[in-house]
Amino acid sequence: MDIKTQMENDLKDAMRSHDEPRKRTLRSALSAIKLAEVDKGGPLDEQGAYSVTQKEIKSRKESIADAEKAGRSDLIAQTQAEIEILEGYLPKAFSPEELEQLAREAIAEASATSPQQMGQVMKILMPRLQGRASGNDASLMVKKLLGA
């Protein structure tokens, strides 16, 4: 079952059980997926849905940082719970070793030798992540391997 269908089914279950945090989080994520589908002009593939879900997680992590600055511990806890719900829909993350191996393969494929060629490496690497690593993690690994 694809991620969108799973979210829709879980939303129905959350509505039946009156699980407000899960219901709110899933509605938000499904809304973001549907908006991406409208922008694309058709249904998203599994990778696209993973990407949108990762963006939702990233935006919530940024919200936590803002809430910490404002001293809003209530918002921090609520947002952290939303992140945990969304992470449940992503595939198991790559270990640092697996990510490093993929990055090394992409570097070799791009024949990259300097940090200036990082864009070429990332273009090769990003489709291979399949929602199992963030772009930020991949970027840091490539920078490390290219000596930036």
Sequence spans of domains, the chain:
3-87, 96-146
CA triplet 6, 91, 104: central angle to 5 degrees?
150
pLDDT, averaged across the chain: 90
pLDDT at 130: 74
Token representation of residue 19: 């699980």
pLDDT at 114: 85
User: Is 96-146 a domain of CATH 1.10.10.410?
Assistant: yes
Model confidence at 148: pLDDT above 80 = no
End-to-end CA distance of the chain: 40
- Average pLDDT (101-121) is 89
Model confidence at 12: pLDDT above 80 = yes
CATH superfamily of 3-87: Uncharacterised protein YqeY/AIM41, N-terminal domain (1.10.1510.10)
pLDDT at 83: 94
pLDDT at 16: 96
pLDDT at 127: 84
The Cα–Cα gap between 52 and 55 comes to 5
What SS3 class is residue 147? coil
Quote the percentage of the chain above a pLDDT of 90. Answer: 48
pLDDT at 39: 93
Tracing tokens 């919200």 back to the chain, one arrives at 63
Question: Same CATH topology for 3-87 and 96-146?
Answer: no
pLDDT at 37: 93
- Average pLDDT (116-142) is 86
pLDDT at 35: 95
